[in-house]
Structure 1
């Protein structure tokens, strides 16, 4: 992938803040013509820098009062066990993110639930059914101080 220039980095930053902003407004903020701004926007999509657009929902207002960070340790690391683990995790809408990590645990998951009973049911019916799981450690969020998916594009690129 070719490196982004300053205008493209700024465009990506602006779109993270408001994915619905009009092209005319973007062009004005970037000091570009609308046609040039639109072409740069499309280039970011074609390069895969922009993977998609979505609304950011308040999890509590849609009934997800529990947010859990779950560490999973596995005893089986075969290709088949790993593929089945991944298939189950990908199919679970409660799992917001899953990372294969270094350290004591093999995986770190971010999971939402309606309440503690709902979370307990999820652990019993999904997580405990995963192949080769030897340990499940949950940390429940008491208070969310920061949650974002915005990347510091310009900072990362040194711009």
Structure 2
């Protein structure tokens, strides 16, 4: 795996701190310091440095999509017919503003983009495809796959020791 400047500047304490925060992002600097056998101020400084380096991007609660009524998880593969026009760039800007799109990746292979999309049911996903995706200029094909069963879904990044 590739390294970058930020990961080269992390010591064992930083890495342990990151693992603790991924397990529980609500930990205060005092609680985190206690787990790391540090006082509050140095612990807060380390956390702040990791935030400033961009290693810690933000904090959030992990929600259960089904309990919030999102029973459909779909993967949409989008292909463009013409890559030289501004259509892909315009598409990316549209996608950035859609809360039901959890992720969008520009990929290699048959598709140009792979989207992870939440919907309340099949009908609402169908509406998303028709009302949003099919209306984007330059798209030549859309292929959808629906999740039948979720085997693993994590957001934690393995932090090397």
**Interval of TM-score (by shorter of Structure 1 and Structure 2):** over 0.9
1:41 matched to which residue of 2? 47
84, 94, 97: which one aligns with 1:91 = 97
Which residue matches 1:68?
74
What's the TM-score, normalizing by structure 1? Answer: 0.93
Aligned match of 1:134 in 133, 140, 143? Answer: 140
Residue 121 of structure 1, aligned match among 119, 127, 143 = 127
Deviation digits for residues 52-71 of structure 1 (CA, Å, limit 9, x no counterpart): 11111110111110000111
Deviations 1:85-134 (A, max 9, x none): 11111111111000000111111000000100000000000011122111
Whether the aligned pair in 2 keeps the contact of 1:76 and 1:131 (CA below 8 Å) is no
Residue 10 of structure 1 aligns with which residue?
A: 16
Name structure 1 gaps, 5 residues minimum: none
CA distance in 2, matches of 1:97, 1:26: 30
Which segments of 5 or more consecutive residues in structure 2 lack a partner in the other structure?
A: none
CA distance in 1, matches of 2:54, 2:111: 31
| 3-state SS in 2 of match to 1:153 | coil
CA gap 1:153/1:85 in 2 versus in 1, 3 angstroms: same
**Runs of 4+ deviating beyond 3 Å:** none
Query: What's the Cα RMSD here?
Result: 1.1
Post-superposition CA distance 1:17-74 (Å, at most 9, x none): 1110122221121122211111100000010001111111110111110000111111
TM-score by length of 2: 0.92
The answer to whether the aligner puts 1:25 opposite 2:5 as a matched pair is no
Paired residue for 1:101? 107
